[in-house]
Amino acid sequence: MKNEDLLVQVKEKAKMWLEGNFDQETKDAVKNMLENDEAQLIESFYKDLEFGTGGLRGIMGVGTNRMNIYTVGMATQGLCNYLKKNYGENTEIKVAIAHDCRNNSPMFAKTVAQIFSANNIKAYLFESLRPTPELSFAIRHFGCKSGVVITASHNPKEYNGFKAYWEDGAQLIEPHDKNVVEEAATISVDEIKFEGNDALIEIIGKEFDEIYLNKIKELSLNPEIIKKHNDLKIVYTPIHGTGVELVPAVLRKFGFENVFNIPEQDVVSGDFPTVVSPNPEESAALNMALEKAKSIDADLILATDPDADRVGIAIKNDKGEFILVNGNQTAVLLTYYLVHQWNEKGKLHGKEYIVKTIVTSELMAEIAEKYKLEYFDTLTGFKFIADIIRKNEGRKTYIGGGEESYGYLVGDFVRDKDAISACAMIAETAAWAREQGKTMFDLMLDIFIEFGFYKEDMISITRKGKSGAEEIQKMMDDFRMKPPDSIAGSDVMLVHDYLQQKTFDQLSHLRYDIELPKSNVLQFITQDGTKVSIRPSGTEPKIKFYFSVKGDLLTRADFYKVDAELDKKIKHIVKELGL
């Protein structure tokens, strides 16, 4: 479409907002864009903000392509309509609603509650900001059919989002996700019921936090060890987000007495004033925590993202230097502790299992196999881990699981990644390591010695716009049509094509079915254990490449040598694939 044609189309859409059932402030902002800012007008109206399978996420502002009370209202009304179709008009429908620290989050959450109540749906609304996992817990606790959290996770401050959940406390999956998307797409602004019924809105306060925290406390496997090592020095930062009260509270409840905060980052703010990005995956977000940890000679650093469903950690290496631990390594440390202790305490009876995603470290599978423990692989996204838990409920016992993108879940009373419980259990892992005369770094190296040294890395390639999307698709098509015969000198043994739901054995030339939902993901597995995974992002104009290589670590002293060799191997693979 030519720019002038697009502008004509955009102006027609914008004029509808001048005439429609919108508030005067919104109309004034649209009029200003029409008269003074064509570039902003195009960005705000050139498409509709899509209600995807995870909900809405976008820049806040006026227009069809922005997060505002009208786009949020259409999504909520669509969810209301689907809930009534699914459960019937005569069924009591209850929902839970939470929000994070972002600008406008309280307003959006209140708007959502008003719309639910206007549709004769009872809404449990948290009194103030709360972590996403607590929302998941509340859905099951109150017997809700659905739930909504207002959050844009770790996106920049300009963004906000609307994430929808089902009755099991997990994010929507098929068929509900697609059905809600279709329902929301039919809603016009005139159909949104904004005038709520306060009698159907119940405010949830701090008393519920205690119920949630007490449930997390039940996860503790070694309270006596924490009692011995309650002086473990822990630095924690919520990065201005929802973990600000509950993470220190749960650490104290577990028995840790030496928890240090970062006052500047305890300030709840959607502007995230001390960081460029509130993302614990990025080292810069932990700079202030690292400085604090160095000044007090801390043992462990914990950092949660704005909605406190993901956690990043830092530990001291054998040189006394703080190093950031990636998501795969944290998942491995936590999984090893859980499985080892369940085994030591006689809690493994043959029906227990763990879950990871297909792009997460195979070291988790190695640990499961040693302890004769069942493990499941799922597609990327914690909703798929939750689906495994739901399917096995009442038959098997979930111990824990995680994904490389800093999300972990211990126990099954929450059905989304949970940084609140993860912080407590990671700290308990550190206390357990100290009880054995080890640091977390020692423990990680000992795991590598026992199971093999797995090293993972990931790169993202961004290609914006229509041409970028076509380029990303061509890359996928090229790798799908002509997979590499070898990677870093090792023959490619298996090609997993999750879009075709087939595994191709390059040696025997046989094909096997993949029993996972369709997804545009490719994986290449070589004879030496190297794994390369390729997937376009579902929320950003990116294609992601995940690399996993394996080596032997015989002693702790060999760590840096083997680490450098594996790092060199990953760099060689990146070059070999032409990235």
Euclidean distance between CA atoms 105 and 159, whole angstroms: 10
Whose tokens are 């924690």? That residue is 236
Whose tokens are 């597609």? That residue is 379
Q: Are the beta carbons of 63 and 45 closer than 8 angstroms?
A: yes
Catalytic residue, chosen from 105, 117, 153, 533, is 153
Residue from 332, 302, 327 nearest 315 by CA: 302
Euclidean distance between CA atoms 68 and 158, whole angstroms: 12
Q: Are the beta carbons of 209 and 134 closer than 8 angstroms?
A: yes
Residue type, 226: I
Q: Are the beta carbons of 102 and 270 closer than 8 angstroms?
A: yes
Q: Are the beta carbons of 237 and 313 closer than 8 angstroms?
A: no
Residue from 394, 404, 309 nearest 356 by CA: 404
B/e letters for 175-187, b = 16+ CB within 10 Å, e = fewer, are ebbeebbebbeeb
Euclidean distance between CA atoms 138 and 205, whole angstroms: 12
Does residue 175 have a cis bond before it (omega within 30 degrees)? yes
Euclidean distance between CA atoms 479 and 124, whole angstroms: 48
Q: Are the beta carbons of 97 and 116 closer than 8 angstroms?
A: yes
Tokens found for residue 276: 């460029």
Residue 153 bears catalytic tag:
yes
Q: Which residues contact 481 (CB under 8 A, 6 or more apart)?
A: none
DSSP code of 564? Answer: H
Euclidean distance between CA atoms 162 and 158, whole angstroms: 14
Q: Would you please indicate which residues are annotated as catalytic (active-site) residues?
A: 153
